[in-house]
Amino acid sequence: MADETNDFHLSCPVPITQYPHVVMAHGGGGRLMNQLIDRMFVAAFGNPALEERHDGARLDPEGRQLAFSTDSYVVRPLFFPGSDIGAMAVNGTVNDLAMCGARPRWLSAGFIIEEGLPMETLWRVVQSMREAAAAAGVQIVTGDTKVVDKGKGDGLYINTAGVGVIETGFLIRPASVRPGDAVLLSGDVGRHGMAIMSVREGLDFESPITSDCAPLAAMVLDLLGAGIEVRCLRDLTRGGLAAALNEIATVARVQIDIEEAAVPVTDPVRGACEILGLDPFYVANEGRLVAFVPAEQARQALTVMQRHDPGRNACRIGVVKTEFPERVTLRSRIGASRILDLLSGEQLPRIC
Amino acid sequence: MKFVDEFRDAGRARECAAAIHRLVTRPWTLMEICGGQTHAIVKFGIDRLLPESIRLVHGPGCPVCVTPLETIDQALNIAARPEVIFCSFGDMLRVPGSREDLLSVKARGGDVRMVYSPLDAVKLARMHPEREVVFFAVGFETTAPANAMAVVQAKRAGLPNFSVLVSHVLVPPAMEAILGAPTNQVQGFLAAGHVCAVMGCREYEPIAARHHVPIVVTGFEPVDILQGIHDCLQQLEAGAATVQNAYARTVRAEGNPAARKMVGEVFEVIDRKWRGIGLIPQSGWGLAPEYAAFDAAERFGVADQTAEEPAECISGLVLQGVKTPLECPAFGGRCSPEHPLGATMVSSEGACAAYHRYRRMPVGSG
């Protein structure tokens, strides 16, 4: 292997020392991806908005507070139980904007289409985007179209970027999290990742698992409208609940302590994870968030979240502490404490 | 969820732990054989429920960890060939060979695919007659039946483009090696429930008798593991040394006869090198002569390839229960899941990876 003993030093030409090539794990939502972002992108582009390490950037041109975010969608297959790439591309960016406390307003859509994609397929995706945009109250106001040679793309990739208007005075970001804050989760975890895996790998489970893909902006705006002093929001995507909590614990320099038994996981997702040796806490979601709120407002916040469909099973899963900063700890079902760590890359199914 | 919830029940776990506390009068050292058990122990904090005088040491039962470096290098060599589709279980993909891992080969253009069953690799061989499909057949007795089945199916279907890179290892010879070592501290074993589901319990009886150690067949959920520990300690306190089945909902004394027959047809017992431990006589399975045509190492001319372990890695001592991961000077510093020096840090079942993931700070047992 390459020189493992040297710690990283930024130097030209390539600042990633351990892997001379990009591997899939660099996109897996774990520690390798964070290293890539920190050492390559943040190192090159560094600025205050980027360094907040939030789901979107907070910008304030001439006194108006805006949120700006982007995401690319490379999911395979394009249609899967519960959703599709089109709805995901809209909801994903809508959710990133919502995590800044913004009201999502305008999206761009970039399509990278592989030669040979049936028009009917593209039309179904576009219709799904139209419906998702209408449901989330956003307009798709600009776009781009590229076609690549057959075999050079997976049918269709979509990039969306979005702008939202921040109407709250609270600074919703990891650094605002305070010791004693309650950690709320909007619903059960692991459904999107297991839905994709079950179709992609042809795994048939007794009851089909459907993606949780959903827009979260209405729920967030309702929380703010109810006067909840939201400290931080994070939607759970790649890397799942564990990655989201670890990122916040690191940036906010706090300990986040959660109860394993308090985190809802449906039986089909648990069953599928057991079979494959995966941990649902690390599996991707597309319609779930964690919210950090003052403990005294936790009950009220849950009532608001539960009024919304994607928040129907919202619950309190933990608390912010100070004893072990930058760590996420978990009290197991049998009462012992342990770390809930960030993984290196994606979870890999076990041999036995 | 049935068969999971009842064995993760906090009340039952506490009852079982309390029974262990009442039972124990002296210090004892137990080894859990299987990496899946190690992982559950560290993940659920089972060791923290035990009396301080009870030490759990972690055994060699992580197939990813004990697969020799040279076998990984052989896999990398084969996977890099343009005509090959190389199929592997997911957790072998990040195991470092001498210079790189299978994911890096994939990133450079190698056709490396993760499969959930060796039969998926046979299917690929059928779909791609113009390519060579190689399955990385590693593991203990647990994965051997499905791997044997894949070879039998390929032979029946007359697939000349299918082969397996075999590195199968066996539990009983490893236990003998551990018990025979002058540094041995293990006084009782938790045998791996899934291995016994295939092979049965009888092959452990001579070991229990010869070395006077209790061997308790144990499952993988917290209550299962605590029950196994309880039964093993009960024997030790009573001076007994028998093979006992604490996982009877899955394991029968004779194992799974159909699976054993399939394995016996395709494989034969051979000497095997274990990563970090070295050569153990008669400790593995290789393809039987009738199936030698499916041997990927021979087909691609890599059978003679050898490799040296990094000197700094103490995974051999960890796998034999002589040292714990926290006693390694490289742990968490020069060696981490991102930059593993040895396989015990990379596999999800490796003891070092389990400690790194769950134990890099002191947390109370609450």
- CB-closest option in B49, B63, B90 to A336: B49
Q: Is residue B363 part of a domain?
A: no
What is the tally of structural domains in chain B?
2
Mean per-residue pLDDT, A101-123: 97
Q: Is residue B364 part of a domain?
A: no
B366 and A349 in contact by Cβ < 8 A? no
Judgement on whether residues B197 and B298 belong to the same structural domain of the protein = yes
Judgement on whether residues B332 and B273 belong to the same structural domain of the protein = no
> For residues A198 and A272, what is the distance between their CA atoms, to the nearest angstrom?
8
> For residues A40 and A29, what is the distance between their CA atoms, to the nearest angstrom?
15
> For residues B101 and B92, what is the distance between their CA atoms, to the nearest angstrom?
9
Provide the shortest C-alpha distance from residue B346 to chain A (in Å): 10
Judgement on whether residues B190 and B329 belong to the same structural domain of the protein = no
Q: Is residue B207 part of a domain?
A: yes
What string of DSSP letters covers A184-203? Answer: EE-S--SHHHHHHHHHHTT-
Find the radius of gyration of the CA atoms of chain A: 20
Q: Is residue B35 part of a domain?
A: yes
Judgement on whether residues B115 and B52 belong to the same structural domain of the protein = yes
Tens digit of pLDDT for each residue in A210-240?
A: 999 999 999 999 999 999 999 999 999 989 9
For CATH 3.90.650.10, the residue range(s) in chain A are 174-339
Which residues make beta-bridge pairs with A165?
A66, A103
What residues make up the domain containing B43?
Answer: 1-311
CATH code of the domain in which B48 resides: 3.40.50.11740
Judgement on whether residues B90 and B201 belong to the same structural domain of the protein = yes
Beta-carbon neighbour count of residue B2 at 10 Å?
7
- Residue-level pLDDT at A350: 66
Alpha helical stretches, state H, chain A: 31-36, 43-45, 48-51, 85-98, 119-136, 191-200, 217-225, 240-252, 267-276, 298-306
- Residue-level pLDDT at A129: 98
Query: How does residue B3 score in pLDDT terms, banded at 50, 70 and 90?
Result: low
Judgement on whether residues B302 and B339 belong to the same structural domain of the protein = no
State yes or no: pLDDT of A99 exceeds 70: yes
State yes or no: pLDDT of A68 exceeds 70: yes
Tens digit of pLDDT for each residue in B297-336?
A: 999 999 988 888 777 888 888 888 888 899 999 998 888 8
Instruction: With a threshold of 0.90, tell me whether the complex ipTM lies above it.
Output: no
- CB-closest option in B10, B143, B360 to A335: B10
Q: Is residue B365 part of a domain?
A: no
| Helix B222-238 × helix B10-23 angle, to 10° | 10
> For residues A168 and A249, what is the distance between their CA atoms, to the nearest angstrom?
23
Measured between alpha carbons, how far apart are the two ends of chain B, in Å?
26
What letter would DSSP give residue A151?
T
- CATH architecture of the domain covering A56-166: 2-Layer Sandwich (3.30)
**Window 210-239 of B, Cβ < 8 Å to A:** 222
For CATH 3.30.1330.10, the residue range(s) in chain A are 56-166
User: Domain A174-339, CATH 3.90.650.10 — does that match?
Assistant: yes
Tens digit of pLDDT for each residue in A151-185?
A: 988 899 999 999 999 999 899 999 999 999 999 99
Judgement on whether residues B275 and B263 belong to the same structural domain of the protein = yes
Residues of A with CB under 8 A from a CB of B: 1, 4-5, 18-25, 31-32, 35, 201, 203, 267, 270-271, 274, 276-277, 324, 327, 329, 331-339, 341, 343-345, 347-352
A338 and B358 in contact by Cβ < 8 A? yes
State yes or no: pLDDT of B30 exceeds 70: yes
> For residues A241 and B227, what is the distance between their CA atoms, to the nearest angstrom?
32
Q: Any idea which of B57-61, B212-216, B229-233 has the lowest mean pLDDT? A: B57-61
pLDDT > 90 fraction of chain A, expressed in percent and rounded: 68
Which residues make beta-bridge pairs with B169?
B284
- Residue-level pLDDT at A124: 97
The CA distances from residue B63 to A21, B95, B157, B163, B169, in Å, are 27, 11, 29, 20, 8
Beta-carbon neighbour count of residue B33 at 10 Å?
28
Nearest Cα residue to A305 out of A210, A211, A217, A212 = A217
Q: Are B320 and B277 in contact (CB under 8 A)?
A: yes
Give the mutation candidate from B358, B359, B365 for the A interface (greatest A CB count, under 10 A): B358
Judgement on whether residues B307 and B328 belong to the same structural domain of the protein = no
Average pLDDT taken over every residue of chain B: 91
> For residues B109 and B103, what is the distance between their CA atoms, to the nearest angstrom?
10
Tell me which chain A residues have a C-beta less than 8 angstroms from the C-beta of B366. 331, 335-337
Tens digit of pLDDT for each residue in B79-135?
A: 999 999 999 998 888 888 888 889 899 999 999 999 988 999 999 999 999 999 999
B90 and A201 in contact by Cβ < 8 A? no
Average pLDDT taken over every residue of chain A: 89
Count how many pairs of residues, chain A against chain B, have C-beta atoms within 8 Å: 138
Judgement on whether residues B242 and B350 belong to the same structural domain of the protein = no
Provide the shortest C-alpha distance from residue B130 to chain A (in Å): 19
Judgement on whether residues B281 and B353 belong to the same structural domain of the protein = no
State yes or no: pLDDT of A4 exceeds 60: no
Pull the structure tokens for residue A243.
């990655």
Provide the shortest C-alpha distance from residue A262 to chain B (in Å): 14
